[in-house]
Amino acid sequence: MPAAAQLSDEALLGAVARSDETALAELYDRFGRVAYGLALRVLRDAALAEDAVQEAFLQVWRSADRFDRRRAKASTWILTFVHRRSVDLVRREERRRTEPAEAAPVPTGPGADEAVERRSKREVVQEALRQLPPEQREAIELAYYGGYTQSELADLLGEPLGTIKSRMFAGLQRLRGLLDEAGFEAAAP
């Protein structure tokens, strides 16, 4: 077998599927930096980004036998794990931050009304997002919370640009309807 550094990304995933630790190390050498950059962009926290990358590569190790080169490039497949784990960590951290706040007494004094209103609006938007189909929610969250362009999303998710545009358009339309039903009033520009 040729040295791991000489193999294609897809061949390395095949070797990982056969429990070749050297192949996994080579994939990490190739994609670790970009994976960390992606995780950091989503999470905006270095320690959480490191955790997301480590857990994503563990998932690559566990599921390399399910990689299908006809569906995605190896890089897209690996970075999808990183992205999904990063989004999961964002959600976990958001829940962690809001749970103690719900148990805390409501602040009083100047600015308290605005803080309560902002929190209420955030909860309405989060609930509406949870009601979207997963593909639409993922595209919208990555675009708005992660700062990705539609072209970057197409590359990241391994989907055609038109598919991403359609998902976002349909998702935003549905989101607007859900927010209207909830009586959400957006601030005027």
Summarised one tens digit per residue, pLDDT across range 112-125 is 667 777 777 778 88
* pLDDT for the residue 188: 41
C-alpha torsion angle, residues 64, 32, 146, 143 (rounded to 10) = -50
Judge contact between 136 and 168, C-beta under 8 A.
yes
Residues 111 and 93 in one domain: no
At residue 185, the pLDDT reads 66
- 120 and 60 housed in the same domain: no
Closest residue by Cα to residue 90 from 59, 51, 62, 58: 51
User: 178 is in which domain, residue-wise?
Assistant: 106-189
Residue 111 pLDDT grade (very low, low, confident, very high; cuts 50, 70, 90) = low
Same domain? For 82 and 163 the reply is no
Question: Which percentage of the chain shows pLDDT scores above 90?
Answer: 35
0.75 exceeded by pTM:
no
pLDDT reading at 183 higher than 90: no
d(CA 57, CA 63): 10
